[in-house]
Structure 1
Amino acid sequence: MAESDIELLWQSDLMMAVNKPAGLSTQAPAGIDSLESRLHRQFARTDRYLSFPHRLDRFVSGVILVALTKKAARLLSAQFASRKTRKQYLAVVEGQCKVGQTGPQQWDDFIRKVNDQPRAEVCDEAAPGAKLASTVVKTLSLDLAADRTLMELSPITGRMHQLRLQTASRGHPIVGDETYGATQGGAKQGGATKQHTDRILLHAHRLEFHDPSNGRLIQVESACPF
């Protein structure tokens, strides 16, 4: 993808929140384009500390936090580990998913990483490597013509591909997510179908966390691009 400036959503002396584009890995080996390498160049931080207390999949866009000191990285990582952050995603899934139309509902599944493959699977609680994945879900709107549903997904846990797998396992893969069985690869915009070859229709819309410097609750949002 063509390089462009990364949108800065919020900043303090210890950290910043940015809007990660879809199709861009959070981190990558030296010489390969990534969010990390772009931030180093854009903010002239080549020789200064920069790390990520959480990740977004390459094909997912939206809010991501960047720690600018080791102390901030440690404190932010602790917030994610203790589930003191709140994350909200917007997703367009295939089919008419009417779960949560009358109010939020919670999905609970045991999932595990598939050996030697970049994907996860739903499994039995007693299966080796099984971990509980919990997400609060809400249907926002139904698109009958396109046979799609706009959903709000708020993960409680942070498992590998959690949202992608939980929607797909219920027969509603996220649009563009061929790894989990999606057959639709585009998003209708202005009456035309635009192909999103470098993204799935999953966006990290809102993130709540506590500022490591003063404990103040911060809420950062990124407008949905689809």
Structure 2
Amino acid sequence: MNEIKTQVQFVEIDDDMAGQRIDNFLRNHLKDIPKSMIYRILRKGEVRVNKKRIKAEYKLQALDVIRIPPVTLTEPQQDTAPSTKLAKVAELEQRIIYEDEHLLVLNKPSGTAVHGGSGLKFGAIEALRALRPQARFLELVHRIDRDTSGILLVAKKRSALRHLQAQFREKTVKKYYFALVMGEWKNQCRVVNAPLLKNETNSIVRVSQAGKPSETRFKVLERLPNATLIQASPITGRTHQIRVHTQYTGHPIAWDDRYGDRRFDAYTGKAGLDRLFLHAANIQFVHPASEEAMEIHAPMDSKLEGVLSQLRSLASA
């Protein structure tokens, strides 16, 4: 790897970049230098805003002028960005179900993480950046589990990111998932309020009074032999929330490697299932620019539809 020393840069902040902390701006602007170096040049006063020293928590304002000092960057390897010729990357182009100048909506396939890390070279956001090299800004609005398929919102402007994330914080975004669960889900089980606690060592989540308040709403969509297709709508956004709440009711999701039931996995495996049957099917939100009410639907993939068809044939046999 070669090292490159940059020149002094002066960046004027526009309305779209305003509102973010200076440390977060620098981490995004100087992607190839360690986070520790960013905080070091801030502490030493080498970064100036309007010719003045600032602290890491300073929030940028429109028309601020930032002086970024020379820094030594490590020249990235040629394969740092995922190749658009990789089948997994190219597939995502076909799975974009909505796009305009402010946001992009992806029907994420199961098995694709939303971002790289933990031994993964890249995730959905890195692949999208490779597919959209001209985009100045592409950031995840929210996350869904690697093995969950379906709707993933990506902001193409910082103003859109702030607007959409505010809607998530205010719980005005409505999300609906389809899940195939074990056994006969009771019609009267429409809401599960059970606090969830995450083990930071192994990321396993369990119901615990010491946990954070968590609420999921449920609706029966279809009854099948030894299984139920349900709609789940999380009101809160805890890690693995739907998966743990369905397990808590005694109806774990098919092919859930953490919270599932192996007997149910074997049963649904005979119908062709080999992945978690949890799909983010529908989302409702307000468009960050037009303020128009948006509703996006993401179809299930052919494998999940095929499993349902197989189970229906058992019911009619």
Give the TM-score, by structure 2 length.
Answer: 0.63
- Which AA in structure 2 matches 1:108? N
* C-alpha distance in 2 between matches for 1:167 and 1:213: 36
Q: Does structure 2 retain, via aligned residues, the 8 Å contact 1:188–1:194?
A: yes
* C-alpha distance in 2 between matches for 1:31 and 1:106: 36
In the TM superposition, 1:51-62 aligns within 5 A as 51-62=139-150
Higher helix fraction: Structure 1 or Structure 2?
2
1:83 aligned partner: 171
1:108 aligned partner: 193
2:222 aligned partner: 141
Higher strand fraction: Structure 1 or Structure 2?
1
In the TM superposition, 1:1-226 aligns within 5 A as 3=88, 4-6=90-92, 7-29=95-117, 32-45=121-134, 48-100=136-188, 105-124=190-209, 127=210, 130-144=211-225, 147-183=226-262, 184-185=264-265, 193-196=271-274, 199-225=275-301, 226=304
The Cα offsets for residues 125-168 of structure 1, whole Å up to 9 and x where unpaired, read as xx2xx211111101111212xx1110000111111110000000
* Secondary structure, counterpart of 2:107 in structure 1: strand
Tell me the CA shift for residue 31 of structure 1.
Answer: 6.6
Unaligned runs of 5+ in 1: none
Identical aligned pairs, as a percentage? 29
Q: How many residues are aligned here?
A: 212
Give the direction of change, closer, same or farther, for the CA distance of 1:216–1:175 in structure 2 (3 Å limit): same
* C-alpha distance in 1 between matches for 2:112 and 2:200: 24
The Cα offsets for residues 43-70 of structure 1, whole Å up to 9 and x where unpaired, read as 235x731111110100000011000111
* C-alpha distance in 1 between matches for 2:278 and 2:183: 15
Q: Does structure 2 retain, via aligned residues, the 8 Å contact 1:175–1:186?
A: no
Q: Does structure 2 retain, via aligned residues, the 8 Å contact 1:52–1:66?
A: yes
Tell me the CA shift for residue 186 of structure 1.
Answer: 6.4
Tell me the CA shift for residue 216 of structure 1.
Answer: 0.6
Q: Max radius of gyration: which structure?
A: 2
Unaligned runs of 5+ in 2: 1-85, 305-317
* C-alpha distance in 1 between matches for 2:243 and 2:120: 29
- Which AA in structure 1 matches 2:283? L
- Which AA in structure 2 matches 1:136? R
* Secondary structure, counterpart of 1:179 in structure 2: coil
Q: Does structure 2 retain, via aligned residues, the 8 Å contact 1:136–1:155?
A: yes
